[in-house]
Amino acid sequence: MRLRALPVALAVAVSACGGSAANPSDAGDAGRDSSTADSSNGDAGWTQCVAPSGVAVCGGPSMCPADSSSCAACGVLANGTADGPLNPCENIATIQYGKDTVCPDGTIYAVLVNSSSNTFLCAPWDLGVLYAKNGSTDRVRYADMGIWTGAELPAPNVCQSISNVELCGGNCGGCSQVDDTCTGRSPLHPFGFCVPSSATNHCARTVAHCGWGDAGIGSSCLTFTVEASAQVAADKNGLCLPSQLCQDLATGLPGGAECTP
């Protein structure tokens, strides 16, 4: 599901965010590794409103244009203005991920609809940088729902091993199964892991099941361990995974995670 094709659906989207990519290893400009030379925090080609990739914002303290070659419409519901609150522009580069599956390596979670919403949806890394440039870091989270600092994703020289789990991202590479998605890498969790295409993000740590009816059979909810001030949001935005994978990650994932039930 692509957000740019379903702007109306965002008005009623109240669940946790996620995303998909045909090739997760292509997402986020080489996964925004700390070893990448062209840091997204550099100034070359950047303005307060537009990233070199074409990702753009409108409104906010910089009064970014709401109708320009970089911003065909302001806000995913096209209800923003240049003199209003900060919004993402509705263009392919900015609104390119869906909301029903997990975010691929190198992407982020962001509040897209309005600043008062707690609905985090999958978004390009560059949108997080532009949000930060415009004083809206509170609307950005890493893939584990940890607090956004702008730090590049870690890429340890040695890829660790977890029983029955395929680690990915950075020097671990991509997923061996073409339909799997690499997700979860952040400054707090240096290794991503591969999840099947059937994985979703619709679960919460406080709920005693993962999904409804048949959708929850054989699945459990994985929530990441993050900063204390961000844990409540992380607990509400878990990944619904096959139960054995969830348990293995909770046992061995560097940085910590919990599997419920």
- For residue range 223-239, what is the model confidence (pLDDT) as tens digits? 999 999 999 989 988 88
Using the predicted structure, report yes or no on whether residue 208 has a pLDDT greater than 80. Answer: no
- For residue range 113-169, what is the model confidence (pLDDT) as tens digits? 766 666 788 899 999 999 999 999 999 999 999 999 999 999 999 999 999 999 999
> Which residue, 255, 211, 212, is CA-closest to 234?
255
Where residue 6 falls among pLDDT bands split at 50, 70, 90? very low
CA 221 – CA 241 distance, rounded (Å): 6
Amino acid identity of 22?
A
pLDDT of amino acid 212: 52
- For residue range 42-56, what is the model confidence (pLDDT) as tens digits? 567 899 999 999 999
- For residue range 61-120, what is the model confidence (pLDDT) as tens digits? 999 999 888 898 998 888 899 999 999 998 888 888 866 567 899 999 998 876 666 678
SS3 139: helix
Cβ–Cβ < 8 Å for 142, 234: no
Pairing of strands 140-141, 167-168: unpaired
The upper half-sphere exposure of residue 176, i.e. CA atoms within 13 Å in the direction of its Cβ, equals 4
User: Whole-model pTM?
Assistant: 0.82
| Sequence-ordered list of residues with C-beta below 8 angstroms from that of 217, at least 6 positions apart, any chain | none
Quick check: bond before 154 cis, omega within 30? no
SS3 114: coil
